[in-house]
Amino acid sequence: IEEAKAAGLLPHVDIEVFVGGGSYVCGDETALIQSLEGGRGTPRLKPPFPANKGLYGCPTIVNNVETLACLPFILNHGADAFRAMGSSTSYGPKIFGISGHVHRPGVYEFALGTPLATLLDAAGGIQGQLKGVIVGGLSAPILTADEIVGLKMDYDACAAAGTVLGSGGIMVVNDSVSIPELALRTIRFYAHESCGQCTPCRDGSVAIKCLIEKLLAGHGLAQDIERILALTHTIAGLTICPLGEAFSLPIRAMVTKFRDEFDALVQPERVS
């Protein structure tokens, strides 16, 4: 910033860098604005949207750094060149963080619409027998090995497959992984990161966590699995920000697609 000022590139612009506290829920633009204003990072009801009433009540544009990073290319080469990169409905580059059971985990950049298989090959291929892939960060519903065949990494293709491209955080899961344990790690994170403002999210995340812990401890009832599924349907759509969907949808996908692993946790004498 100082170099840009010295070069005269920012004659009428002030840039200030704020360091956040690391709250996950501040990924919501209104919670981020609350935090920048010095308040607790809790999402606000919309409307009004930040573009109309944002930081300190003024119209505010909130963009991810990945969006801003595309601007130099567009300015240098034009919008048509940018649109030529990617698919017909999702264009431009995308940063993918590939982790889990691959030989070369890391951060990769590909055009939107690139086949998932190409990304996994770039990461050195899969270790062991593939069980599933989470393609858009922890809030994305897991896809089975069969469901990822031919999948292209763009917004429409992921939606058609029943998941979301999201952050582009790709987690590869092989057959050594317990899906109930993965579900527990997922819900523990979201229960911890809930801001507590909305009852369905605050209490629902803890209730699901307790039910999965009960199953993994060997004390689960068959109806506990149904309770988990019922809660995921109850929570979705009833919160101010998308955090409710961010854990209810992936948990529901794990339970429904890998139901046998959850059923196996119910003691035989407890099956009803």
Q: Residues 38-74: pLDDT tens digits?
A: 999 999 999 999 999 999 999 999 999 999 999 999 9
Query: Helices in the chain by DSSP H: which ranges?
Result: 2-6, 29-36, 65-68, 71-77, 79-83, 116-122, 155-160, 179-193, 199-216, 222-235, 243-257, 259-263
Of the ranges 71-80, 166-175, 227-236, 260-269, which one carries the lowest mean pLDDT score? 260-269
Is 58 within a domain? yes
Give the structural domain span for 216: 179-270
Where among 126, 153, 174 does a domain terminate?
Answer: 174
Task: Report the predicted TM-score, pTM, of the whole model to 2 decimal places.
Answer: 0.90
Residues 15-36: pLDDT tens digits? Answer: 888 988 889 999 999 999 999 9
Q: Are residues 163 and 196 in the same domain?
A: no
Is 81 within a domain? no
Tell me what pLDDT residue 21 has: 82
pLDDT higher than threshold 90 for residue 267: no
pLDDT higher than threshold 60 for residue 272: no
pLDDT higher than threshold 80 for residue 268: no
**26 contact partners, CB below 8 Å, separation of at least 6:** 20, 32, 35, 41
Give the span between the Cα atoms of 191 and 207, in whole angstroms: 9
Q: Specify the number of domains making up the chain.
A: 3
What radius of gyration, in Å, describes the C-alpha atoms of the chain? Answer: 21
Mean of all residue pLDDT scores within the chain: 94
Please indicate whether residue 134 or residue 11 has the higher confidence score (pLDDT): 134
pLDDT range class, residue 4, cuts 50, 70, 90? confident
For residue 170, report the phi and psi dihedrals to the nearest 5 degrees. -100, 120
- What is the rounded average pLDDT of the residues 129-135? 98
DSSP H/E element including 75? helix 71-77
Is 146 within a domain? yes
Is 84 within a domain? no
The DSSP symbol for 254 reads H
The tokens describing 60, both together, are 């505010």
Domain CATH number, residue 244: 1.20.1440.230
Is 141 within a domain? yes
Q: Are residues 157 and 207 in the same domain?
A: no
Q: Are residues 243 and 208 in the same domain?
A: yes
pLDDT higher than threshold 70 for residue 270: no
The tokens describing 14, both together, are 């002030």
pLDDT higher than threshold 90 for residue 100: yes
Is 156 within a domain? yes
- What is the rounded average pLDDT of the residues 243-259? 97
Domain CATH number, residue 148: 3.10.20.600
pLDDT range class, residue 269, cuts 50, 70, 90? low
Is 67 within a domain? no
Residues 140-194: pLDDT tens digits? Answer: 999 999 999 999 999 999 999 999 999 999 999 999 999 999 999 999 999 999 9
Is 72 within a domain? no
Residues 79-96: pLDDT tens digits? Answer: 999 999 998 889 999 999
Q: Are residues 233 and 262 in the same domain?
A: yes
